[in-house]
């Protein structure tokens, strides 16, 4: 029988070890669980980009001793004009799953991070929470075999999308596993980094 892992100094789990390490580093620097999750989520967007990213959604359930639980729905809003009649007018029998006519929502992940920080409070500056993500985006992170597989599988479908090839392909193909991939645009400051 497997035993559940426990730790006296905090524990973080994520689909990629570098994201888990980023979260654990924040806990060890005195951050709370929400801050650790933001560190892990921002890092996973860089080190495991084919599965998680800042362009997605977020759903939070925050529980603190002696206080009511807080739920945050950080799923993005859908376009108001994306009606069945609008799609019929564009010659679509169904809503496309990808491309410019897909009824994707506006990304809500990062607004969820802000709402979670407001709900739970924080001890560390935002620059500390994003530190590992920024470092990996600037210096590079090893490409996983999973990323190679997914990039190759969906390359034909995604290559025409603006920005995809320049961001995720090398010389028109998926990068090799274990090669370094950088995302310099994610490493650039976007505004104030202190709360």
Local confidence band at 38 (pLDDT 50, 70, 90 cut-offs) = very high
Within-domain flag for 134: yes
Residue 1 pLDDT more than 60?
no
Within-domain flag for 194: no
Within-domain flag for 23: yes
Look at residue 2 in the predicted model and tell me its pLDDT. 73
Element counts in the chain: helices (H) and strands (E):
9, 4
Within-domain flag for 116: yes
Within-domain flag for 4: no
Within-domain flag for 6: no
Spatial CA neighbour of 54 closest among 67, 35, 38: 38
Residue 145 pLDDT more than 70?
yes
Domain count of the fold of the chain: 1
Q: Please state, as a whole number, how many other Cβ atoms lie within 10 Å of the Cβ of residue 2.
A: 4
Look at residue 53 in the predicted model and tell me its pLDDT. 87
Contact between 186 and 168 under an 8 Å Cβ cutoff? The reply is: no
User: Got the DSSP string for 11-39?
Assistant: ----SSHHHHHHHHHHHHTT--HHHHHHH
Look at residue 83 in the predicted model and tell me its pLDDT. 85
Higher pLDDT, 148 or 122: 148
Look at residue 68 in the predicted model and tell me its pLDDT. 94
What average pLDDT does the chain have?
A: 90
Residue 6 pLDDT more than 60?
yes
Residue 188 pLDDT more than 70?
yes
Q: Is 14 exposed, middle or buried (0-12, 13-18, 19+ CB in 10 A)?
A: buried
Expressed as residue numbers, the domain containing 87 is 17-187
Look at residue 97 in the predicted model and tell me its pLDDT. 79
Within-domain flag for 171: yes
Within-domain flag for 99: yes
The 10s digit of each residue's pLDDT in 95-122 is 887 777 887 677 889 999 999 999 998 8
What is residue 136's three-state secondary structure? helix
Look at residue 178 in the predicted model and tell me its pLDDT. 97
């Amino acid at each position: 029988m497997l035993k559940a892992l426990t730790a006296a100094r905090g524990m973080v789990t994520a689909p990629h070890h570098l994201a888990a390490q980023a979260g654990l580093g924040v806990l060890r620097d005195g951050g709370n669980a929400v801050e650790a999750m933001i560190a892990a989520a921002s890092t996973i967007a860089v080190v495991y980009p084919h599965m998680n990213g800042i362009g997605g959604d977020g759903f939070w359930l925050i529980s603190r001793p002696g206080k009511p639980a807080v739920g945050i729905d950080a799923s993005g809003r859908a376009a108001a004009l994306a009606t069945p009649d609008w799609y019929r007018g564009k010659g679509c029998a169904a809503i496309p799953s990808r491309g410019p006519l897909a009824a994707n929502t506006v990304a809500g992940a990062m607004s969820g991070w802000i709402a979670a920080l407001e709900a739970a409070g924080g001890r560390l500056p935002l620059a500390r929470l994003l530190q590992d993500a920024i470092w990996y985006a600037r210096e590079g992170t090893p490409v996983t075999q999973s990323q190679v597989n997914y990039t190759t599988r969906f390359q034909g479908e995604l290559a025409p999308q603006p920005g995809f090839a320049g961001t995720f392909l090398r010389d028109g193909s998926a990068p090799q596993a274990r090669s370094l991939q950088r995302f310099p645009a994610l490493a650039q400051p976007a505004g104030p980094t202190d709360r």
